[in-house]
A = this chain, B = another copy of it.
Amino acid sequence: MAFELTVLGSSSAIPTTSRFPTAQVLNVHERFFLLDCGEGTQIQLRRFSINMSRISHIFISHLHGDHVFGLFGLLSSYNLMGRKADMHIYAHRDFEPTLEHFRKHFGMDMSFDIVFHPFTAVKQMEIYSDKHLTVEIIPLRHSVPVVGFLFREKKMMLNMRREAIEKYALGIKEIRNIKTGLDYITPDGHVIPNAELTLPPYKTRSYAFCTDTLCFSKLNTVLRDVDLLYFEATFSAKDKKLAKLTGHSTSEQAAMLAKQANAGRLLIGHFSTRYKSIAPLLKEARAVFPNTEAVADGDKFSIDPERIESGS
């Protein structure tokens, strides 16, 4: 039931000794999804004790080096470690020549297959779905095509109340039906409401990863009610013009977006190396949206499973 984010890199384009370029891992029910893959990602995975073999899906937001240059080393190490499982890579279709170049010049006789899932960054759409979640791309605005990734947990099957199984002597077929939300009709025709038979359902959880981009008003609705929002804050409010010029956002803009979208919690990162301290960036964000954190490499953020209270 995990829903946990680990930040691997939180710098903007130029890394520092404490902040690597962008990469994150999202663990959803013990499936690990890699978001961007800046240089040094494989080292950070080891440093923060992520089991590398659990990753089978890599999502690349855009084709700037600080979001992708760690991919070649990571794939090479998987090969040296004898990986067998397919690796699925989701990226803009323009990434195909680079993947092909890597395969031809550095990836001969790979022990595993790379499955490429190209997309364009034109419209919001689902690009991945499994038992537990869906992933949508959200077109963003930068100097090259860029998307955000929106992870939404699917509604889970209901859990039975153990005492109900005994009380009504329920069989496998009835339990299966009840778990989908149906009421139970007893042999003598009584209707037992589903809520009496099952535990309150879990709230579904969501995470949005948005970097590198300008802030624009359409995002208020696209990101509506997201539980956890990572939004780039390359610049401080005082450097708003520079943010616009370079296709980036300020921490204040990120916070205004989180507020207007009614996000649960905001994470800011991708900080420009021009700021010796990011405390002022965090302060200006919290003035607008108090539930904000400035991420650091190695930080983990979890959303615990929470049952919907009866009556709500």
Indicate whether A21 reaches chain B with its CB closer than 8 angstroms. Answer: yes
Nearest residue, chain B, Cβ from A74: B39
Residues of B within 8 A of A16 (CB): 43, 46
Nearest residue, chain B, Cβ from A41: B39
- Distance between Cα atoms of A106 and B64 in the complex (Å): 7
Indicate whether A13 reaches chain B with its CB closer than 8 angstroms. Answer: yes
- Distance between Cα atoms of A213 and B13 in the complex (Å): 35
Beyond A13-B80, A76-B69, whether A43 also contacts B46 by CB under 8 A is no
0/1 string, A44-63, CB within 8 A of B gives 1: 00110000000000000001
Residues of B within 8 A of A14 (CB): 77, 80-81
0/1 string, A12-41, CB within 8 A of B gives 1: 011111001100000000000000000110
Nearest residue, chain B, Cβ from A78: B14
Nearest residue, chain B, Cβ from A13: B80
0/1 string, A91-126, CB within 8 A of B gives 1: 000100110010001100000000000000000000
Residues of B within 8 A of A81 (CB): 14
Indicate whether A73 reaches chain B with its CB closer than 8 angstroms. Answer: yes
B13 x A65 contact (CB < 8 A): no
Nearest residue, chain B, Cβ from A101: B101
- Distance between Cα atoms of A46 and B101 in the complex (Å): 29
Indicate whether A70 reaches chain B with its CB closer than 8 angstroms. Answer: yes
Indicate whether A42 reaches chain B with its CB closer than 8 angstroms. Answer: yes
B106 x A101 contact (CB < 8 A): no
How many copies of the shown chain assemble into the complex? 2
Tally A residues with Cβ within 8 Å of B. Answer: 31
Residues of B within 8 A of A43 (CB): 15-17, 20, 39-40
- Distance between Cα atoms of A40 and B46 in the complex (Å): 14
Pick from B17, B66, B101: contact of A76, CB under 8 Å: B66
- Distance between Cα atoms of A39 and B43 in the complex (Å): 9
Indicate whether A72 reaches chain B with its CB closer than 8 angstroms. Answer: yes
- Distance between Cα atoms of A21 and B40 in the complex (Å): 10
B66 x A69 contact (CB < 8 A): no
- Kindly name the residue among A21, A70, A73, A94 whose own CB sees the greatest number of chain B CB atoms within 10 A: A73
Report A9 CB to chain B, min CB distance, Å.
10
Report A36 CB to chain B, min CB distance, Å.
13
Residues of B within 8 A of A70 (CB): 39
Report A160 CB to chain B, min CB distance, Å.
45
Nearest residue, chain B, Cβ from A46: B17
Residues of B within 8 A of A15 (CB): 42-43, 46, 73, 77
- 5 residue pairs of the A-B complex, CB under 8 angstroms, read A13-B77, A13-B80, A14-B80, A16-B43, A65-B76
